[in-house]
Structure 1
Amino acid sequence: MLLSAGVIGAAHASKADHHEFEATLHAPFAADGADQDRPEARTFKLGFDFPLLEREQDVKWRLELVSPDGVVVQQWQGVQRIAGKPVDVSIAWDGRADGLILTDGVYVARMQAVTGDDTVEQSWDISVGRNPAQSMPAFKALPTSATSAASAKPARANGRVVQGAVAATGSLPYTVYLGNLHSQTNHSDGGGALGSCTGAQAPQSAALGPADAYQYAMNKGLDFLMASEHNHMYDGSDGTNASADPAAAKALFQSGLAAAANFNSAHAGFLGMYGLEWGVINNGGHMNIFNTTELLGWESNSSGQLIADTLTAKGDYAGLYTLMRQRGYVGQFNHPESSGQFQVNGTALGYTADGDQAMALCEVLNTSAFSTNTSEAETGRSTYEGACNKALEAGYHVAFSSDQDNHCANWGASYTNRTGVLLPNGTPLTTASMIAAIKARRVFATMDKTSQLILTANGHVMGERFTNSGPLNLVANFASSNGKTVSSVKMYEGVPGRNGTVTQLSATASTTITPAVGEHFYYAKITQNDGNILWSAPVWVTQDSGGGTTTPPAATQLIANGGFESGASSWSATSGVITSDAGEAAHGGSYKAWLNGYGSAHTDTLYQSVTIPAAATSANLSFWLKVVSSETTTTNAYDTLKVQVRSSANAVLATLATYSNLNKGSTYVQKSFDLSAYKGQTVRIYFEGVEGSTVSTAFLVDDVSLIAQ
């Protein structure tokens, strides 16, 4: 999290959450050219802050200027005293007027700041002299929601109008959606009105909630916005509220899920997402959980009641990863640091196999968390490429994202940066399709919402894992709809699980190599002629000595008639389950599956057989569920719906979830599960509703989807 100057007061900040050393570097990409005698002159600004610091301490800092060939050509260093208030250090650089002999090119301004056990590194590209545009491969920009809306008639998915997608001629079969995956509302410490917002809000005190955030972001042209609420603030406190009511905390979380579902239902083409930002910064690490359907936490009230649905021990990242993998939840490392965060067995960003399945993204760039800028001109921002590279070298398969961490009511408007997500052309923008794309790592990070960077490798699209023999051709495909050119392009390589250093492979947009036998990852990074940067997702390559390459898997919808609009076609169900009965509305269209609701002992079943390709890298099941019940109990599950994976012989392979009358509500809620464990198998997606003998409970299921990639 990038904390702006003077933004946190003790009354509004949790020491456990925000007690972290912050160091930022502002390095203008180009000189202003005002001084003809010093045409390259500019001022570097270093910013240091340590919110809630109890005693003064020193910051040892070093700033280096690194040439295009990796040589340090100039260096500054010093010691700055900090005492709980932001401090800036300005360094006036005269450029070549300092007597330096500098070739034209793109240099790197690289800062390191150390205080106590905390080390922060930041780096930005700067242009020196004349830098002609780099030669880039011919590439036609992928369609976006905006270009699709302008050039195509609206498509319909289960009766709902959604943004269409028209493939770019000679391009890849994907549509790009651009948004922000990190923000807060008044469900935690965000939602502050712009006229008065100067920092984190007291939990649940601000006026603006998730629906306000979605409306604002949609009006600003974003395709999606994630409300990622701090999991430990649902008790209304930034500490622990001993008198908190667990039912109220859980109800607030469920109301956020409902707010997203309701907004999406009313605004086709925009996706409101709601989930958690789990953990604390100090001796912890913040991470988003995009698709959790339950409140996860560790705090209890004075009666010993857990203020959450499910206990997740504070700081136990290995345990959390296991739960996420079991539930099919997907996560992102938020503003990660290379030391002291996401520790597993004492190792920062320590690897676990469960974590590798659960964590799909790493936030490589963030703008100021407490910015009130609404013209996309915020200058406060930080990069975390070093920490993300550490995660990649540890063995995590993560793609880069670029977010804003908005706490004030300028959701997505502080800067032009976005996270770009690739959906297969013609696929509606839904929570299920978004989660499937994130799981497939088809994501790029950009500081310029009008530019795209798509890495391909022997025809495979970024995010893929594949086996290769012989030469490997890596291509950085760049497109700008705003006339930007490329000043610098770099290809990087690393080895997952090596825990070493990511290194630059080349400085060209098309690079052909023959990798050594073994595991590798590669990604591209581009700096535009205005200094804005883009990062592609990596590709992961297993180089062997055999012949040929594997065929890239296509994103495939395995469920037929998932919205039931063709009646019982492709489904097997007990009588009356698939219906257009107007007594309860469908999630979309007219038809849905209505299990139980008779008020007497009864069992209903619904299933469809699917074959999950053996070559799939992901398989994500999702559906929308609404539970309507006349039961009044808050403790006993009298009526149940089991969601299962069964064999072709109807043997239960797994029970993914069990819902009951205790889950009743007034809206549909989306559920999502990872079925990649069943690759290469033909299985039944099976719903079984069992109702007791007296009071009625109905389970309404709609828009079932199983996307394999």
Structure 2
Amino acid sequence: MKTTSPTPTIGALLLALCCSSAVAAPAEHKEFEATLHAPFKAAPDARRTFHLSFHYPGLEQPATVYWKLELVNPQGRVARLWRGNSKLSGDPVPVRVAWDGRIGAGPAPAGVYRVRLRAVLRGVPHDGAHTGAHGHHDEAVEQDWEIAVGAPAAPRTPRFAPLPGVREMAERAEGTAMAPATGSLPYTVYLGNLHSQSNHSDGGAALGECKGGQDPLKSQYGPEAAFAYARGRGLDFLAVSEHNHMYDGSDGSNPDADPLAAKALYQAGLTSAAAFNATKPGFLALYGMEWGVINNGGHINIFNSDELLGWETNARGELMADTRTPRNDYAALYTLMRQRGWVGQFNHPSHSGQFVVNGVPLGYTQDGDEAMVLCEVMNSTAFSSNDTETETRRSNFEGACNRVLEAGYHVAFSTNQDNHCANWGAAYTNRTGVLLPNGTPLSRDTFVEALKARRVFATMDKTAQLVFTANGRLMGERFTNKGPLTLQANFASTSGKKVAAVAIMAGVPGRNGTVTQVSNLATTTFTPAPGVHFYYARVTQDDGNVLWSAPVWVTQE
């Protein structure tokens, strides 16, 4: 007679799922990564070196990266150009480009310049399992960062008292901290990481053993370890977002997998987050899923689903999930998310080929607009084993997020780390900042409400804040306006950082056009043209770290 435990241990669930002979090696992260590290300040002799890095995890045959690096002056013209090519096989390939600080015969005039990388990988065969086609294709990545040349004049910024953090508010409640500064907004800021994995999918490897994406369900550390680690490193929240199609213990399809064990493992993750929250007030443990595949698909984090979604079945036709969701059908996913009240994030979006709806990449639907609240604007590399917050391999997705905004989505910017190693939140100093009204308890429900309100900013510096307002209305809001519009980028740093550059960016939802800069002033007033617009602020610190506000959406009468 067969007996089963009513509450199987997580170890038993992992054992049931991962240890059949059908488990395949991970292939989910077969994608081209090109990063650019451009030192914001030069050496005393005006020289600096740009560091390029190219990687394609799981590449099965050698390929060639053709790259172009441009130095763009403050007037938007290309002042220097470098080209090259690099052979790519297995390990990351570093490339160094030295610049002597000169343009033509003399030193480059002072100002804030941009360094722009375009890298194209050629010779990678199509994966028919993911794309339905065979042959070869090119993959292109663009990266763009600002640098200071000489001593450019710093822009003026309004005086702004930094919003208190959760620990500061707790001290105030105990009467051991100073009262809030005059003029501060009635919000508490929470800083954390909304994208990471544990051994419930392909993360959780010890730093000395981490090799990128791990074999699913095989590594040492699970969600409980991730939450404890992040809290110990000073984060206020961590989302463990497991790949939804790996709960069968495979990156492909495991014909011998047990669907009850797969669903129970997801429930165990939810239980572990709830248990952690019950004993650790002031910290929020989130457990959810990263839905989708990367090749001709796109990853979406869903933060508040109590159901495991999926499309894979075992050999008996049993679904490896609670709820069936067709693979790569983003329109259907958005509809389900809206019906259930779930919220999502576009993870590391690409300019093309991802989140396709009716044949259109980044295609818009009303359901998607309701459900999708965030777009990752910057990540440190997913496979970093750095635990000193000094990772230099970082990716900028602002261009793709702008296409999401121009498509009509109402999303705020986030910045995360996509940790696959046991360094949750420790690879770099970047954080997503979420604003909750003062006195509001931190819970999954109140946090999700803040995400729905788009009260969010993205910062590469955990000691800095950016709060954007429009005629006094807070970032994330949608409102109708008559007459002049005053936009204000409120920056604060608790570590003494200064502002090197400000950009107020503007676009039109649903136009599917180009987002442009309309001002380089922290406070700017103008009268928009009639119609609907969105505006957001981007601030670059004097150390090169960047902050992005959430947009405001303005209907001008």
Q: Same fold (TM over 0.5)?
A: yes
Q: Do the aligned partners of 2:79 and 2:103 also contact (CA within 8 Å) in 1?
A: no
Residues in 1 aligned to 2:427 and 2:178: alpha-carbon distance in whole angstroms: 28
Q: Do the aligned partners of 1:300 and 1:306 also contact (CA within 8 Å) in 2?
A: yes
Identity %: 63
Structure 1 position 462, deviation (Å): 0.3
Q: Do the aligned partners of 1:165 and 1:426 also contact (CA within 8 Å) in 2?
A: no
Of structures 1 and 2, the one with the larger relative CO (CA 8 A, separation 6+) is 2
Q: Do the aligned partners of 2:310 and 2:320 also contact (CA within 8 Å) in 1?
A: yes
- Find the counterpart in structure 1 of residue 167 from structure 2: 146
Residues in 2 aligned to 1:209 and 1:55: alpha-carbon distance in whole angstroms: 33
Q: Do the aligned partners of 1:188 and 1:229 also contact (CA within 8 Å) in 2?
A: yes
Q: Deviations over 1:346-372 (max 9, x none)?
A: 211111111111100000111121222
Residues in 1 aligned to 2:258 and 2:182: alpha-carbon distance in whole angstroms: 57
Instruction: Specify the SS of the correspondent of 2:102.
Output: helix
- Find the counterpart in structure 1 of residue 243 from structure 2: 230
Instruction: Specify the SS of the correspondent of 1:149.
Output: helix
Q: Do the aligned partners of 1:45 and 1:89 also contact (CA within 8 Å) in 2?
A: yes
Structure 1 position 98, deviation (Å): 5.4
Match of 1:221 among 202, 214, 234: 234
Shift of the 69–411 alpha-carbon distance from structure 1 to 2, 3 Å rule, reads same
Residues in 2 aligned to 1:53 and 1:237: alpha-carbon distance in whole angstroms: 19
Instruction: Write the mapping of 1:476-495 to structure 2, written as runs, cut at 5 A.
Output: 476-495=489-508
Instruction: Write the mapping of 1:218-297 to structure 2, written as runs, cut at 5 A.
Output: 218-297=231-310
- Find the counterpart in structure 2 of residue 158 from structure 1: none
1:26 correspondence with 2:37? yes
Q: Do the aligned partners of 2:51 and 2:95 also contact (CA within 8 Å) in 1?
A: yes
Instruction: Write the mapping of 1:665-676 to structure 2, written as runs, cut at 5 A.
Output: none
Letter in 2 for 1:111: L
Residues in 2 aligned to 1:12 and 1:124: alpha-carbon distance in whole angstroms: 38
1:180 correspondence with 2:193? yes
- Find the counterpart in structure 2 of residue 119 from structure 1: 140
- Find the counterpart in structure 2 of residue 109 from structure 1: 115
Structure 1 position 198, deviation (Å): 2.5
Q: Do the aligned partners of 2:24 and 2:252 also contact (CA within 8 Å) in 1?
A: no
Shift of the 489–283 alpha-carbon distance from structure 1 to 2, 3 Å rule, reads same
Moved more, 429-438 or 98-107: 98-107
Q: Do the aligned partners of 1:148 and 1:165 also contact (CA within 8 Å) in 2?
A: no
Q: Deviations over 1:442-464 (max 9, x none)?
A: 00000001100000000100000
- Find the counterpart in structure 1 of residue 425 from structure 2: 412
Letter in 2 for 1:55: Q
Match of 2:327 among 289, 302, 314: 314
Residues in 1 aligned to 2:65 and 2:254: alpha-carbon distance in whole angstroms: 35
Residues in 1 aligned to 2:154 and 2:439: alpha-carbon distance in whole angstroms: 34
Q: Deviations over 1:132-175 (max 9, x none)?
A: 43210011111111322333329xxxxxxxx9996542111111
Structure 1 position 401, deviation (Å): 0.3
- Find the counterpart in structure 1 of residue 317 from structure 2: 304
Letter in 2 for 1:74: R
Q: Do the aligned partners of 1:365 and 1:384 also contact (CA within 8 Å) in 2?
A: yes
Instruction: Specify the SS of the correspondent of 2:108.
Output: coil
Match of 1:134 among 144, 148, 155: 155
Match of 1:14 among 23, 26, 34: 26
1:46 correspondence with 2:52? yes
Instruction: Specify the SS of the correspondent of 1:306.
Output: coil
- Find the counterpart in structure 2 of residue 422 from structure 1: 435
Match of 2:202 among 189, 196, 209: 189
- Find the counterpart in structure 2 of residue 444 from structure 1: 457
Q: Deviations over 1:240-277 (max 9, x none)?
A: 11011111000000011000000000111110000000
- Find the counterpart in structure 2 of residue 202 from structure 1: 215
User: TM-score w.r.t. structure 1 length?
Assistant: 0.72
Residues in 1 aligned to 2:481 and 2:38: alpha-carbon distance in whole angstroms: 40
Residues in 2 aligned to 1:336 and 1:307: alpha-carbon distance in whole angstroms: 26
Match of 1:171 among 168, 176, 184: 184
Q: Deviations over 1:207-246 (max 9, x none)?
A: 2111111111111111000000000011111111101111
Residues in 1 aligned to 2:418 and 2:518: alpha-carbon distance in whole angstroms: 32
Residues in 2 aligned to 1:447 and 1:242: alpha-carbon distance in whole angstroms: 43
Residues in 2 aligned to 1:307 and 1:406: alpha-carbon distance in whole angstroms: 24
Structure 1 position 89, deviation (Å): 2.2
Instruction: Specify the SS of the correspondent of 1:232.
Output: helix
Q: Deviations over 1:555-595 (max 9, x none)?
A: xxxxxxxxxxxxxxxxxxxxxxxxxxxxxxxxxxxxxxxxx
Q: Do the aligned partners of 1:493 and 1:502 also contact (CA within 8 Å) in 2?
A: yes
Q: Do the aligned partners of 1:440 and 1:464 also contact (CA within 8 Å) in 2?
A: yes
Q: Do the aligned partners of 1:119 and 1:339 also contact (CA within 8 Å) in 2?
A: no
Residues in 2 aligned to 1:168 and 1:348: alpha-carbon distance in whole angstroms: 45
Residues in 1 aligned to 2:213 and 2:31: alpha-carbon distance in whole angstroms: 14
Residues in 1 aligned to 2:47 and 2:24: alpha-carbon distance in whole angstroms: 40
Q: Do the aligned partners of 1:143 and 1:168 also contact (CA within 8 Å) in 2?
A: no
Instruction: Specify the SS of the correspondent of 1:323.
Output: helix
Residues in 2 aligned to 1:19 and 1:138: alpha-carbon distance in whole angstroms: 46
Structure 1 position 329, deviation (Å): 0.5
Q: Do the aligned partners of 1:167 and 1:425 also contact (CA within 8 Å) in 2?
A: no
Shift of the 100–519 alpha-carbon distance from structure 1 to 2, 3 Å rule, reads farther
Structure 1 position 84, deviation (Å): 4.0
Shift of the 190–12 alpha-carbon distance from structure 1 to 2, 3 Å rule, reads farther
Shift of the 261–329 alpha-carbon distance from structure 1 to 2, 3 Å rule, reads same
How many pairs were matched up?
520
Letter in 2 for 1:273: L
Shift of the 385–142 alpha-carbon distance from structure 1 to 2, 3 Å rule, reads same
- Find the counterpart in structure 2 of residue 65 from structure 1: 71
Residues in 2 aligned to 1:83 and 1:237: alpha-carbon distance in whole angstroms: 24
CA RMSD of aligned residues (A): 1.7
1:358 correspondence with 2:371? yes
Instruction: Write the mapping of 1:213-612 to structure 2, written as runs, cut at 5 A.
Output: 213-544=226-557
Residues in 1 aligned to 2:401 and 2:201: alpha-carbon distance in whole angstroms: 26
Residues in 1 aligned to 2:261 and 2:139: alpha-carbon distance in whole angstroms: 38
Residues in 1 aligned to 2:178 and 2:344: alpha-carbon distance in whole angstroms: 27
Residues in 2 aligned to 1:277 and 1:100: alpha-carbon distance in whole angstroms: 51
Q: Deviations over 1:639-679 (max 9, x none)?
A: xxxxxxxxxxxxxxxxxxxxxxxxxxxxxxxxxxxxxxxxx
What runs of 5+ residues in structure 2 fail to find an aligned partner? Answer: 1-22, 122-136
Letter in 1 for 2:115: A
Q: Do the aligned partners of 2:25 and 2:250 also contact (CA within 8 Å) in 1?
A: no
Moved more, 53-62 or 475-484: 53-62
Q: Do the aligned partners of 2:26 and 2:214 also contact (CA within 8 Å) in 1?
A: no
Q: Do the aligned partners of 1:148 and 1:166 also contact (CA within 8 Å) in 2?
A: no
- Find the counterpart in structure 1 of residue 11 from structure 2: none
